Structure 1
């Protein structure tokens, strides 16, 4: 997984968005937002930004285990590789809130950060006609494994997707995140870099992190990056 990070102070030269292009989200009907129980809450409610992964879940892909398909599902998985360049049939069997092993080195697992002193982060995810389950698993992983005090927002930037299920269905789905996840839709195909610039301009956090639309955030990653920013050190992620 590769993530790219920009600091808000670097973005003063980015051009203003074209007239009429703005955030597509508005305050939602409260009755539609009462779905908190459908997603996992942030695993970290304390000042300490090092927590253990959930290990008591069962199901395909839990703790990062491989998923093996047979019969018609295996045939579909092979077809998916040609269309999506990933096995969507296998992805669809994995929980959007699946558990992952803690792959941090020992020093990172014991590092403690004061979340009250760290800057808030906007996580920007660019997508174009992405498959449903990989995209949403990316969003769920950020919400589940990021302390609420540290996460300003998850901003989905749709680079002119044509698939129907990524429009109204996706708009309806993110209502369950109670305003933490937003969608901004470009009116024409911009390409990855320009889409990122649009996302950076719209992001409200002091730190902006770009994630691929088919990855999973693990425990403690934003704490390290935000700490580097507060330490006034140069920040590069490749």
Structure 2
């Protein structure tokens, strides 16, 4: 369960604006979308074909401490270089990630915030488009999100912006962490976090930065011990 102090942290946090949410979605489509295929809407170049996946990636983009924890786990598993521990620590300590931290509430399927308003802004400017498949109320109903050619150009411009370019950089880490997992697999991974899973429905999911720092400190200490052992072995051989 989230601690009282953690819950208080989220109460005082201002909500993200519609424009900020739209920028995040645009960056995610550009950095995490897959190439479109025959039969997709004309003039589109990338897509995210699962709202669950898009919501899960948006959660990591909005919560740098959870993203950092995933990087730590990947280093422990040996799937990424240990240098990503430096990246993980910067997600916790640098001021910019904290400025971009916007908690999400937990609902029945995990972290969720309605996308319609933000996505409609992208559609208004011709940057993205949405396709709904299946019948309303049926499990087969799906929302497919597409980035247009104009949207791809906007993403490229976004990456060069002194302020908004942060999103393009951060999305690269989200793409690394998300990999090719489907939306349900990403949600399952997020539910392994006790704070996330223990949050009451409708309540903002609290931060986990202190626990991530503990993991980072432990890994750093283990790396120092390992390095010292390597030095001793070299000296024994000389």
TM-score when scaled to structure 2?
0.25
Structure 1 or 2: larger helix share?
A: 2
Structure (1 or 2) with the larger CA radius of gyration: 2
